[in-house]
Structure 1
Amino acid sequence: MSEQPVLSVQDLSGGYSINRPVLHDISFQVQPGELVGLIGLNGAGKSTTMKHILGLMHPQKGEIKVQGKRREEDTELYHSSLAFVPESPLLYDEMTVREHVEFAARSYGVSREDYEARAAHLSRLFRMEEKMDSLSIHLSKGMRQKVMIMCAFVARPGLYIIDEPFLGLDPLGIRSLLDFMLEVKAAGSSVLLSSHILSTIENYCDRFIVMNRGRVVAQGTLQQIGEQAGKPGKSLEELFNILIQGGNQA
Structure 2
Amino acid sequence: MSAAAANVLEIQGLTGGYSLNKPVLHDISLSVGRGEMVGLIGLNGAGKSTTMKHILGLMTPHKGGIAVDGVTRDKDPERYHAALSFVPEAPLLYDEMTVREHVEFTARSYGVDRADYEARSARLASLFRMEEKLDTLSGHLSKGMKQKVMIMCAFVARPSLYVIDEPFLGLDPLGIRSLLDFMQELRREGASILLSSHILSTIENYCDRFIVLHQGKVVAQGTLDEMTAAAGRPGLPLEQLFYELVQGGK
Q: Determine the structure 2 residue equivalent to 1:133.
A: 135
1:186 aligns with 2:188: yes
1:32 aligned residue (12, 31, 34): 34
SS of 1:148's partner is helix
- In the alignment, is the contact (CA less than 8 A) between 1:2 and 1:32 conserved in 2? no
Give 1:149 shift. 0.1
Q: Which amino acid aligns with 2:54?
A: H
Deviation digits for residues 68-115 of structure 1 (CA, Å, limit 9, x no counterpart) = 111000101100000000000000000000000000000000000000
Q: Which runs of 4+ in 1 moved over 2 A?
A: none
Q: Which amino acid aligns with 2:131?
A: E
SS of 1:6's partner is strand
User: Could you tell me the TM-score, scaled by structure 1's length?
Assistant: 0.98
Q: Determine the structure 1 residue equivalent to 2:108.
A: 106
2:172 aligned residue (166, 170, 173): 170
Q: Which amino acid aligns with 1:164?
A: E
Q: Determine the structure 2 residue equivalent to 1:216.
A: 218
Distance in 1, matches of 2:28 and 2:249, equals 23
Distance in 1, matches of 2:123 and 2:148, equals 13
Q: Determine the structure 2 residue equivalent to 1:195.
A: 197
Q: Which amino acid aligns with 1:118?
A: R
Distance in 1, matches of 2:216 and 2:2, equals 29
Q: Determine the structure 1 residue equivalent to 2:98.
A: 96
Q: Which amino acid aligns with 2:23?
A: P
Q: Percent identity?
A: 73
Q: Determine the structure 2 residue equivalent to 1:151.
A: 153
Q: Determine the structure 2 residue equivalent to 1:54.
A: 56
Q: Which amino acid aligns with 2:134?
A: M
Gaps (5+ residues) in structure 2?
A: none
Q: Which amino acid aligns with 1:204?
A: Y
Distance in 1, matches of 2:215 and 2:224, equals 21
Q: Which amino acid aligns with 2:235?
A: G
SS of 2:100's partner is helix
Distance in 2, matches of 1:231 and 1:243, equals 11
1:44 aligns with 2:42: no
Q: Determine the structure 2 residue equivalent to 1:68.
A: 70
Distance in 2, matches of 1:27 and 1:219, equals 10
Distance in 1, matches of 2:35 and 2:11, equals 17
Distance in 2, matches of 1:89 and 1:203, equals 26
Distance in 2, matches of 1:59 and 1:34, equals 25
Distance in 2, matches of 1:99 and 1:2, equals 42
Q: Determine the structure 2 residue equivalent to 1:121.
A: 123
Distance in 2, matches of 1:41 and 1:247, equals 15
- In the alignment, is the contact (CA less than 8 A) between 1:2 and 1:31 conserved in 2? no
Give 1:247 shift. 2.8
Give 1:47 shift. 0.2
Q: Which amino acid aligns with 2:110?
A: Y
2:227 aligned residue (225, 228, 234): 225
1:19 aligned residue (18, 21, 45): 21
